[in-house]
Amino acid sequence: MSQGWRFISNLGLAVFVVAAALEMAARCSVRADEEAEKPAAPQPAPEPAENPPPEKYTLAFKFRPNQVVRYDVAHDSEIFIHAKDDTETTRNTSQSKRHYKVIAVDEKTGAGDLELSIDWVHMVASFENGEGRKTEPIEFQSDDPTKHPEKFRQVLDSVGRPRATVRFGRTGNAIKVLAGAVAPTAPVQTPNGAPPAVDALPESYFFLLPENAVAIGDAWKERFDVFTRDEHKNLTKIAIQRKFWLTGVNEGRAVIEFKTVIITPVQDPAISGQLIQREISGKIVFDIERGLILSRESGVDRTVVNPFGAKSSMRAKSVYRETIAADEVDGADDRVE
């Protein structure tokens, strides 16, 4: 009897041990599952890698002795004038070919002495009043003697020979007028506020580049003066600022955008009328390796109120396009003469 009890007791003890072991195993399994379900402890974030500095580009004009670079230029403008219940519209279109020739280069500074020349000009001017009456267009073409009207005859003085010799720095700044240039700050008088038919001034051949290397997004400025005339015909100096941005570089071609603003406060509407086409904006494509302009385009669309007295207005629209001559696009500018 006692042996049977012991057997039962031992059996019960074994069952208890097994059950306890199973319960412990189950608890361990649950605990393991719970541990597995717990989110991993956050790891410290890696130190952010330093952004590499943006690539910078050195923009500079490059001059070589006897180098000749040619451009085709187109300039279209419209001037709308309203005064005393009358409306007048003047339209001017011009195409020209021009070039510069490098006659000397300073080996230390890279500055070049350049002859600036206009080779050919074609212009058409037309006029229309508010009633729709149009005048016969006036046409000028420099190489056609039958198209030399008196109104544009003075243009012949600027065509077919060096207009000026100017020393330019590598940033495009005019350092010194060596011969023949009209002062770039002189006022230009044209009928009805129309732009000059041919702009042979030194500032029209180049633009200002930065002295230091720049990255995409960087900007630089230039400031210069022009002259206007007040109501008493006295000269009035006006400060103008032009701001440039490097907006992109693709296959060695820099894209530069610019905008022009009048700095001097102007209260006289007559002076504002003379400045109406100065606040231009546009874009330039510059060949970094060859150091020259490939194309340039700009425009303006402005209105001035009361430039000719009460209840008058003037609106100016113009578009300027300049491109390197087709036979020089692939490097033919390396020619020398």
Give the model's pLDDT for residue 336.
55
What distance in Å separates the CA atoms of residue 249 and residue 253, rounded to the nearest whole number? Answer: 5
Give the CB-side neighbour count of residue 322, counting CA atoms within 13 A. 23
Q: How many other C-beta atoms can be found within 10 angstroms of the C-beta atom of residue 246?
A: 22
Give the model's pLDDT for residue 39.
55
Please report whether residue 212 resides in a domain.
yes
Give the model's pLDDT for residue 143.
95
What is the CATH classification number for the domain harbouring 204?
2.30.230
Q: For residues 220 and 210, is the Cβ–Cβ distance under 8 A?
A: yes
Residue 9: pLDDT over 50: no
SS3 159: strand
Q: Which residue has the higher pLDDT, 158 or 288?
A: 288
- Let me know if 238 is exposed, middle or buried by CB neighbors in 10 A (0-12, 13-18, 19+): buried
Please report whether residue 17 resides in a domain.
no
Please report whether residue 50 resides in a domain.
no
Q: What is the pLDDT of residues 44-65, one digit of tens each?
A: 666 666 788 899 999 999 999 9
DSSP-assigned beta bridge partners for residue 95: 74, 122
β pairing state of 138-141 and 162-168 = unpaired
Please report whether residue 21 resides in a domain.
no
Mean pLDDT calculated for residue range 171-200: 60
Please report whether residue 91 resides in a domain.
yes
Please report whether residue 274 resides in a domain.
yes
Residue 267: pLDDT over 50: yes
What distance in Å separates the CA atoms of residue 146 and residue 139, rounded to the nearest whole number? Answer: 10
**Location of structure tokens 């943006």:** 54
Please report whether residue 286 resides in a domain.
yes
Give the model's pLDDT for residue 18.
36
Q: Which residue has the higher pLDDT, 41 or 204?
A: 204
Give the model's pLDDT for residue 198.
44
pLDDT level of residue 287 (50, 70, 90 thresholds)? very high
Q: What is the pLDDT of residues 75-108, one digit of tens each?
A: 999 999 999 888 999 999 999 999 999 999 999 9
Give the model's pLDDT for residue 194.
42
Range of the domain at 266: 56-334
Q: What is the pLDDT of residues 115-150, one digit of tens each?
A: 999 999 999 999 998 777 778 899 999 999 999 998
Residue 257: pLDDT over 60: yes
Which residues have a Cβ under 8 Å from the Cβ of 65 and sit 6 or more positions away? 102, 103, 104, 105, 336
Mean pLDDT calculated for residue range 153-166: 88
DSSP 272-291: HHHTTTT--EEEEEEETTTT
Q: For residues 215 and 57, is the Cβ–Cβ distance under 8 A?
A: yes
For residue 214, the Cα-to-chain-centroid distance in whole angstroms is 14
Q: Which residue has the higher pLDDT, 190 or 205?
A: 205
Mean pLDDT of the chain: 82
pLDDT level of residue 38 (50, 70, 90 thresholds)? low
Please report whether residue 265 resides in a domain.
yes
Number of domains in the chain: 1
Give the model's pLDDT for residue 70.
97
Residue 5: pLDDT over 70: no
